[in-house]
């Protein structure tokens, strides 16, 4: 019996403990739910705060950008007014001219028994038509088209409007005829001011006109002196697609084809320049061997020459100046024939002097190689003879 009671008591204790545990777990679950909900609410509040801050900054940035744009626009307008005072005054004068012209035409038309609305439309047709054609001409000119027909139309319509104002002025101000001229001019003056400003600012400068004139003269001279090459250049441009070759490129290509050289040069010019250099040297060399007074004249010219550092001295022009370094003579083989003696070289000296004169006449320097070929001797002997020949020529010059 006692055992049953004890077991029942333990069961009751266990159920009580289980109930307490269940309530504890339920309470913890509710607290966790509340914590999560509070965390979510906090995150939502942070997000709303950040969004509000971002919207506020965006509004401030937009306001600052709008303010900066307005300031930039004002600055741009001020710069334009400072740099374009003529445009501002032209606009003022044009308004002051157009308004009286329109009013005068309305008065003239209404005085001719034309209803006021119709008179206003007709006056606007005349003045507005002139300005419509004017602006169309300006647009055509900016696009690179010929504006001449627009300018003719503008002045024709403006002349009709001026005639209407002049006729009205004669009738309305008979006591003061000069007013008629002023009213007539009011239809022309605004057009004249606009035309002067537009074509005065877009017209060619004096330097541009001079450059165009010089270019035309250059093209004319090119056609006169090089007609074959100009014709070949035109054919090249015609053979290729339009715009591939401009005039200068086509002429340069045709010049290279015909002469084989860069533009401005040719085989004849190269030959002329080379011949002139050789002839100058040969003239001095021949003068040394033919007429002694020419060499003396050369020395006097050298003493009086203000540009001596730019020209050769008579000694160098006579072939006895600094010679290019000769390569060292090859050592003769011990088994080969020995060189000529001094006596034999003295015997060859007259022939060597003649050979040297021939070398100089050909525009060449006196060298051992040249003497060896002329005299048909060994190079070692020609080296010794060269020194003796140069010494003799120095003594002759002195």
**Interior CA angle at 158 toward 152 and 164, to 5°?**
140
176, pLDDT greater than 70: yes
What are the tens digits of pLDDT across the range 17-29?
888 888 888 888 8
Could you tell me the pLDDT band of residue 362, with boundaries at 50, 70 and 90?
confident
Q: Do the Cβ atoms of 162 and 187 come closer than 8 Å? A: yes
Q: Chain-wide mean pLDDT for the chain? A: 75
Q: Percent of the chain at pLDDT above 90?
A: 4
d(CA 42, CA 45): 5
pLDDT, residue 217, reads 92
Question: Quick check: 319 pLDDT over 50?
Answer: no
250: how many CB neighbours lie within 10 A of its CB? 22
Q: Do 129 and 157 form a contact (C-beta atoms < 8 A)?
A: yes
Of the listed ranges 140-154, 270-284, 326-340, the one predicted with least confidence: 326-340
Q: How far is CA 111 from CA 99, 107, 115, 118, 363, in A?
A: 18, 6, 9, 12, 103
SS3 readout for the chain: CHHHHHHHHHHHHHHHHHHHHHHHHHHHHHHHHHHHHHHHHHHHHHHHHHHHHHHHHHHHHHHHHHHHHHHHHHHHHHHHHHHCHHHHHHHHHHHHHHHHHHHHHHHHHHHCCCCHHHHHHHHHHHHHHHHHHHHHHHHHHHCCCCCHHHHHHHHHHHHHHHHHHHHHHHHHCCCCCHHHHHHHHHHHHHHHHHHHHHHHHHCCCHHHHHHHHHHHHHHHHHHHHCHHHHHHHHHHHHHCCCCCCCHHHHHHHHHHHHHCCCCCCCHHHHHHHHHHHHHHHHHHHHHHHHCHHHHHHHHHHHHHCCCHHHCCCHHHHCCCCCCCCCCCCCCCCCCCCCCCCHHHHHHHHHHHHHHHHHHHHCCCCCCHHHHHHHHCCCHHHHHHHHHHHHHHHHHHHC
More confident residue, 197 or 288: 197
pLDDT confidence band for 318 (50 / 70 / 90) = very low
Q: Helix 206-225 crosses helix 227-239 at what angle (to 10 degrees)?
A: 100
Residue 387, number of CB atoms within 10 A of its CB: 10
Question: Lowest-confidence range among 82-96, 157-171, 285-299?
Answer: 285-299
Instruction: Give the tens place of pLDDT for each residue, 205-248.
Output: 778 888 888 989 998 999 999 999 999 999 888 888 888 888 88
pLDDT at 8: 78
- Mean per-residue pLDDT, 190-202: 70
pLDDT interval class at 92 (50, 70, 90) = low
Q: Which of the listed ranges 17-21, 111-115, 319-323, 363-367 does the model predict with the highest average pLDDT? A: 17-21
Statement: residue 93 has pLDDT above 70: no
Predicted local confidence at residue 227, as pLDDT: 92
- Nearest Cα neighbor of 350 from 392, 305, 304 is 392
Confidence of residue 370 (pLDDT cuts 50, 70, 90): confident
For 236, residues 6+ apart whose C-beta sits below 8 A from its C-beta are 245, 250, 253, 254
Mean pLDDT check: name the lowest of 36-40, 95-99, 192-196, 367-371: 95-99
Domain-by-domain residue ranges, the chain? Answer: 1-83, 86-202, 215-265, 269-324+340-397
Q: Measure Cα distances from 353 to 113, 240, 283, 374, 395 in Å.
A: 120, 64, 18, 11, 13
Q: How many Cβ atoms sit within 10 Å of the Cβ of residue 192?
A: 13
């Amino acid at each position: 019996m006692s055992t049953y009671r004890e077991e029942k008591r333990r069961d009751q204790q266990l159920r009580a403990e289980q109930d307490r545990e269940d309530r504890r777990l339920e309470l913890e679950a509710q607290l966790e739910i509340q914590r999560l909900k509070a965390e979510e609410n906090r995150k939502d509040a942070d997000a709303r705060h950040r969004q509000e801050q971002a919207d506020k900054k965006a509004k401030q940035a937009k306001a600052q950008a709008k303010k900066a744009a307005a300031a930039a626009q004002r600055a741009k307008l001020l710069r334009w007014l400072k740099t374009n005072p003529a445009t501002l005054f032209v606009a003022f004068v044009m308004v002051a001219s157009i308004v009286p012209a329109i009013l005068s035409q309305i008065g003239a038309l209404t005085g001719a028994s034309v209803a006021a609305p119709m008179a206003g439309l007709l006056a606007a047709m005349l003045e507005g038509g002139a300005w419509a054609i004017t602006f169309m001409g300006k647009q055509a000119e900016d696009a690179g088209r010929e504006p001449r027909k627009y300018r003719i139309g503008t002045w024709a319509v403006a002349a009709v409007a001026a005639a209407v104002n002049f006729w009205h002025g004669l009738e309305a101000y008979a006591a003061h005829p000069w007013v008629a001229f002023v009213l007539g001019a009011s239809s022309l003056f605004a057009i004249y001011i606009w035309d002067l400003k537009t074509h005065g600012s877009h017209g060619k400068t004096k330097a541009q006109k001079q450059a165009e004139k010089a270019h035309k003269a250059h093209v004319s001279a090119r056609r006169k002196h090089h007609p074959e090459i100009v014709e070949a250049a035109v054919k090249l441009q015609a053979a290729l697609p339009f715009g591939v070759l401009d005039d200068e490129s086509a002429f340069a290509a045709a010049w290279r084809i015909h002469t084989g050289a860069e533009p401005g040069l040719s085989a004849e010019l190269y030959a002329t320049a080379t011949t002139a250099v050789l002839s100058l040297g040969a003239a001095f060399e021949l003068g040394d061997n033919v007429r002694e007074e020419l060499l003396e004249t050369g020395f006097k010219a050298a003493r009086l020459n203000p540009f001596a550092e730019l020209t050769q001295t008579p000694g160098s022009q006579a072939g006895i100046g600094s010679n290019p370094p000769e390569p060292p003579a090859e050592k003769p083989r011990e088994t080969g024939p020995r060189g000529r003696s001094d006596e034999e070289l003295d015997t060859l000296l007259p022939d060597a002097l003649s050979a040297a004169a021939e070398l100089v006449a050909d525009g060449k320097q006196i060298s051992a190689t040249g003497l060896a070929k002329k005299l048909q001797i060994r190079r070692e002997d020609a080296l010794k003879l060269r020194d003796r020949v140069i010494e003799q020529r120095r003594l002759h010059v002195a």
